[in-house]
Structure 1
């Protein structure tokens, strides 16, 4: 099979040169389901050094040292463009593809959103922010670094991975008087606090539709009257990196269309007139915005 031959050639030279990017993108994008399964079941990827070593970007994603794909460590490597010298070509390709750029864009998306909230804030009270599945929390670190009045935002982070919390606390050690980390599965988490902003960028595309609606229902009870929920989800209609993520990283997400996200919000009891869907510049990450009223 020509596809296997070309992939084998790239693997044998320890990754694509920049001149190979277009060819590799096209090769992966055009994989048939049959070819995808054939490559999965072959020895081609099983014998690839980069997928045996969690020091490479895709090797980390594939081997899942923390038990799940998209963990705090790999997300922060994507944020900081941290590549390994033994896998420079593969890591460069991994960090420059559309999905990686979209992950970096969602950090900027969050920060711009919060700066706008701060600019328009008129209350004497702090903005109450709930960050669900906060991961490395580099988005928060950079946000607080930029704020003149750091007390204007009070943040609660709910994160299931204890190691992610330790990492995030260390990264945010200068701001811990404004950030509270809680280790909890969101399905078991209950709260009496009312939040002005509820943000979750990298969680809901691991949920099936039933779980998606269930968590949105919970969030609805935590929202202030003028509050807003923002949920990130990978775009069913546009993710050029999808087959690379799935084939090389064994990283499968539930991709959704804009309309599917709107319909799920409606099932959770929100009025369609209060629901919008936006995207970051790559149009790979969609953002469901829901206002209470």
Structure 2
């Protein structure tokens, strides 16, 4: 009888200690959330009276740093996403005066980072009224590293397409390029039409049919003659995309920012076994871990991203296609905010006679 009694007493002590620890964690989270709410309210009030001044840019940099630190503290103390969202709701609403942030919040096309948002970022324009604080906020964001990385990706991808069209196809026929989740195909629009030859083909894929229509209308006519479109979620459209291949180059710019590991591995495996020709390349980008704008994007602009490290990307490839990948390299754009991965499909094994 003594052993069960002692065991029960120990269990009650352990349970009491666990409850106490949970209460302490909850108290710390409550304090962190209160501090975040106060910070947001202070900035919201400041926005009501502030005007655009030359000093506003420096103030925005301070705001991004302070807001990010306050959110991170909430997460560290165990606060949930819904609690954080509720704490910053007044500030989020106030920042809706910024056309750029409002685009993210509204998600008129049903998902974050749609082609219209990306085209707006690439244009560098500012739709806010000049002289207002909203105009200054968008000026800051359009010149920030988190926006420059989008432009850097497009320039990088355009260079890859040029290089492919300037070389020979791995299978000796026309050069074939696949642009996955291409949006408005800004990278292809930057490529000189004279690089195309008879038999060359670029296949455009996007989940948004309007994005593909926009891309086809915006392409130079000579380039459009060498394009085909395959609308739909890329994972569902893979068989249709494969029928146009195999490809010398497959590009997925930005898609991995939204792909959980399971689906990222699936796409990598398919690219390395079915889409790329032996010796062909699969290039994709992914937002790098440690993005200082991540909390602002998620909680104020409704634009969450899946961040990864270089090791994360290498682990995805090793898990998905270790024997089919002849070469893997992971670099970064000039801002360091975007990882640039290159996978080369292994050559087909030589059969002996």
Q: Structure 1 length as normaliser, TM-score?
A: 0.89
Structure with larger RCO (C-alpha < 8 A, sep 6+): 1
Matched, 1:22 2:22: no
SS at 2:197 equivalent = helix
Structure 2 regions of 5+ residues with no counterpart? 1-34, 76-80, 347-353
Give the structure-2-normalised TM-score.
0.74
Native 8 Å contact 2:162 2:195 kept in 1: no
User: Alpha carbons of 1:219 and 1:63: their partners in 2 closer, same or farther (altered >3 Å)?
Assistant: same
Structure-2 residue corresponding to 1:201: 253
Q: Distance in 2 between matches of 1:40 and 1:34?
A: 14
Distance 1:59 1:212 in 2: 29
Select 1:183's aligned residue among 214, 231, 243. 231
Unpaired runs of 5+ residues, structure 1, are none
- Cα distance, 1:224 vs. partner? 0.4
Q: How does 1:228-243 map to 2 (within 5 A)?
A: 228-236=281-289, 238-243=290-295
Answer yes or no: is 1:66 the counterpart of 2:109: yes
Match of 1:225 among 265, 278, 283: 278
Q: Give the corresponding residue for 2:173.
A: 125
In 2, are the aligned partners of 1:276 and 1:288 still within 8 Å (CA)? yes
2:86 to 32, 38, 41: 41
Q: What is the SS of the residue equivalent to 1:169?
A: helix
Aligned ranges for residues 78-227 of structure 1 at < 5 Å? Answer: 78-86=121-129, 87-121=134-168, 125-143=173-191, 146-151=192-197, 153-172=200-219, 174=221, 175-189=223-237, 190=239, 191-192=242-243, 193-220=245-272, 221-227=274-280
SS at match of 1:275: strand
* Alpha-carbon distance in 1 for matches of 2:306, 2:343: 20
Query: What is the RMSD of the two structures over their aligned residues, measured on CA atoms?
Result: 2.4
Q: Which has the higher helix share?
A: 2
Deviates further, 98-107 or 33-42 = 33-42
